[in-house]
Each structure stands twice: as C-alpha cells, then as structure tokens.
A and B are shown apart, each in its own frame.
Chain A
Amino acid sequence: MTKLSKLNIFKQFLEKGPIILLFIATLNEFDFNYLELKYFSFNFPFILIYYWSLKRPGSLGYGLIFLSGLFNDAVVGLPIGVSSLSYLFICGFSSYLRNITLRPSKINDWFFFGFTILVVNSLMFAISNVFFNVQIIYSDVLVNILFTFLFYIIFSSLFEYYKNFVFGASNV
C-alpha cells in the first residue's frame, strides 16, 4: 500500500515536471557564462513553453507561465511584465498552430517555432527599447534566436521521450 502511494507521488511529480523545469529555468537562468563561450546563448523557457503548450497544453497552466515570466524579469532585470507577455504570446502561437494542424509534423512545428520566436523577440525588445530605454545589442539577440531555434529540435526530441514515458504515447 505504502509502495503504491509512493509510486503515485512520484508519478504526480513527473507529471508536474514541465512546470517545475520552467520555474527552475527562469529562476536559475542557465547561462553557461563560466564556459566563456563567446556569442553563445539560448532561451530555454521559449522552447519549453512552446513544446508543452503545443503537445500537451494541460501540463503548463497559463497562470503559472505568467508568474514564471514575472520571476524571469525580476532575475534578469528586464521591465516587469515583458517576459510574461512574450511567454503568453508563445502560448497563443502554439495554440493557433494546434488549432490549424490536422497532421502534426516535427519540421512544421520547428519552422513555426522559428517564426514565433522571431515575432516574440521583436515584440519583447521593441517594448524594452522603445518604452523602457533598455539598450540592446541586436547581433546578440539574433544569435540567441538562432541558437534557440537550433536547440528546439534537440529538446523537442528529449521532451517527446519524457512525454511518452510519463503520459503515454497516445495521451495528447
């Protein structure tokens, strides 16, 4: 009996995995700065939010995504609300893609992700720059977008395994 309830708790923990990972990612802001890799950065929360909103919307609540955006702004030092807005737009874009897709394809998702992050980053940095006078190095933003786009395909495969393991292959 105890064994069963322990298994149940573990399963519940795994089901909350995406949201836990999102909060760890926003609060921890993985940066790999200590590796001193020039021009390397990517936005992990973008990948995470897009994938899970697209494939299993129930895993990430919009309210929690909004909250994680606020935390991310506080940690990174951006005007409060900018990240939340971009995260919510990503949810909107992925929800749109889900509504219009009859036969899901990984390549379609990937390219639509590229389009999404281009729009969302433009919006995010336009707000920061125009309304809050935050100066930005545009080449760094472009590199960040490029790496985020490239990493999507790797992380989406990893998330696919995780999803199939925790929720089962057919549970979409």
Chain B
Amino acid sequence: MQPSSRDDFIIAIRSAFLKKENKQKYSLSALILLTLAILILGKYDFKIINYSKISLKEIAYRSTFVFSTPENLIKKSFIATKNHFLVYEENKILKEKVKDLETINYNSEFILAENERLKDTLNELNFSSNEILAKVIVDKQSPFLKSIIVNKGSKHGAELGMAVLDKEYLVGKIVELNFTTSRVLLLSDLNSKIPVDILPNSIQSILSGTGKENGKIQYVKEEALIENENKVFTSGAGGIFKPGIPIGEIDKKQSNLDINVSFFSDFSQLRFVKLRSFSPEEN
C-alpha cells in the first residue's frame, strides 16, 4: 500500500519536531517544552524562574552595552553630522528662545516663592524627594516596546515605580528592578498610562503612550478647552508621582483626531537620567 500525502505530512512533521537531528545536542520538541514551561512558570511568578530571569537580564544588559558600542559610535557620528548641518538655523531660533525664557524665568521665580508662601498658609502637602543619578546603558527601543535600561538597581536604592526624569522633565517610570540594573518604561510606550493635569485650564486626564515619539490625551470630557501648546504636567492622582512635573505640550497640528502630546524630552537622546521617588513631607 502506498503512503498517503497525509502520512508524508505526519512523517515530515515528526521528523522536524520530534526526532533529534544530526549535529544537534538537544531535540526541538524538548526545547519547545522547556520554553513553554519557562513562560507558564514566569507568568505565575515562580521563584526560581524569577531569580533566573533577574540573573539573565543582568548578563544580557551588560553584554548588550558592550555589543552596542560599535553601533552607538555610528549612531553618535550620524547625529553629530546631522546636528552640524542644522546648527546655524537652530542658533537663530535658540537666541530668540533665550530672550523669551529670561523674561519667563524672572516671573516664575516670583511665582515659586509666592506659591511656597501660600502653601505654608494653607498647610498643604509638600514633597521631599530622594534622587539617584543613573546612566542609560541600553536604549534599544524596539518598534513594539519603548523602554531603556539604566545602571542602577535595588543595590543602589532604586525602587519599582520611581519617576525617571531627564533634567526636570518626566520620561517614564521604573517597571522592572534587578540588582544592579532597572528597566524604565518610557511615556511613549503603548502600555504607559499617567494621570496628568493640562494647564492653564487645569483639565485632569490620562496621558497614554502611542508606541511612536509622542503621547496622546485620553478620557477627557472638556476636549474643546484643550488648546494647542497647552502644557501637560503630572497631576499627582494615584500618588505615583508628585503633582507638577513637566511632561510636554499639546500638539494639535497633527492631522489625526487625537489630542497629541509632544514630550519636552527627546527620548532617543537620553544619556543620564534621574531616578526620583517622592514622599509627602509633614509641615
């Protein structure tokens, strides 16, 4: 009796997946089962798997830092060349911006002092902060996940959920803590959701990542009150971050119907960041 095409198919599948091939130390099916076990046990936070994951990540992040050196050199030269061509035009714009900022700075110094005085009078909460400076060791932002790895972990006092700032601008929060490294989920990631306050009308909303370079405002009733170049700050709702950390500004120029937010910080240029935790201070 001649074997049917179904038999051929089964034989080929069995041979591909179940039999250990020549020159291979492990069979494919055994490794697939092992991977499934890692996935399932990892999902349910099995302790051994978690410890193995942390060790693997420590090794992977350090190795990536070394392996990325040549590509980082190319990247830096590319950006430097690009910046060189833009420098004259940028200089003109910056000169004008400096003038404007000087004026704003005088005003804000006065407003800050006044704000402190008023807070004391109202007996409101002040926040004390604990800050750690960290170096970005991996900034491989895949098309699907926007995150960076920094060289500070639980050993240095970093904690899960800590705010991550570039200068004074919020860029993300710590979502994964290892012994000497941490992963920061950037605000632009699709899974990032931050409660925000849109000024000057003080509209409370949620800022979501889009997976691109910008964010978008969600769950807001007073859409009409939000105008182009309105500033976006953390609202402090949920107690994750203190209120008033600058994030970006509304960008309604883009063609889609979403209310987009352009971040103040350029996430592709992060070199050093501040990890900051906030705690309410008793007056």
Write the residues of chain A forming the contact surface with B, with a CB cutoff of 8 angstroms: 23-24, 27-31, 33-35, 41, 57-58, 61-63, 66, 69-71, 74-82, 84-85, 88-89, 91-93, 95-96, 98-100, 127, 131-137, 140-141, 144
Contacts and interface: CB of A to CB of B under 8 A. Distances in A.
B241 to A, nearest CB: 21
Interface in B188-240: 190-191, 211
Given A27-B67, A74-B53, A81-B38, 5 more contacts: A41-B142, A57-B21, A58-B23, A62-B27, A131-B43
Nearest to B31: A66
B78 interface: yes
A79 B39 contact: yes
Contact of A33 (B53, B67, B268): B268
Contacts of A69: 35
Interface in B168-189: 176, 183
A88 B35 contact: yes
Nearest to A35: B78
Contacts of B25: 61-63
8 contacts: A28-B64, A29-B64, A62-B28, A75-B64, A80-B42, A96-B16, A131-B39, A140-B211
Given A96-B13, A100-B12, A135-B191, A31 B142 contact: yes
Chain B interface size, under 10 / 10 to 19 / 20 to 34 / 35 or more: 35 or more
B23 A135 contact: no
Contact of B24 (A30, A34, A61, A132): A61
Contact of A70 (B17, B56, B71, B144): B56
Given A62-B24, A95-B15, A137-B190, A82 B39 contact: yes
Contact of B35 (A58, A76, A85): A85
B75 A29 contact: no
Interface of B: 8, 11-13, 15-17, 21-28, 31-32, 34-36, 38-39, 42-43, 49, 53, 56-57, 60-61, 63-64, 67-68, 71, 75, 78-79, 138, 140-145, 147, 176, 183, 190-191, 211, 268
Contact of B145 (A28, A77, A100, A133): A77
Contacts of B39: 79-82, 85, 127, 131
A63 B21 CA distance: 12
Contacts of B36: 81, 85
Contact of B57 (A62, A74, A95): A74
Given A28-B68, A57-B24, A96-B13, A136 B190 contact: yes
> Counting chain A CB atoms within 10 Å of each CB, which of B26, B36, B67, B144 scores highest?
B144
B93 to A, nearest CB: 20
A127 B8 CA distance: 30
Given A58-B22, A71-B60, A100-B8, A136 B144 contact: yes
B67 A62 contact: no
For the complex of A and B, list the 4 residue pairs with the smallest distance between their C-beta atoms, beginning with the closest: A74-B60, A58-B23, A95-B16, A96-B16
B34 A66 contact: yes
Contacts of A132: 43
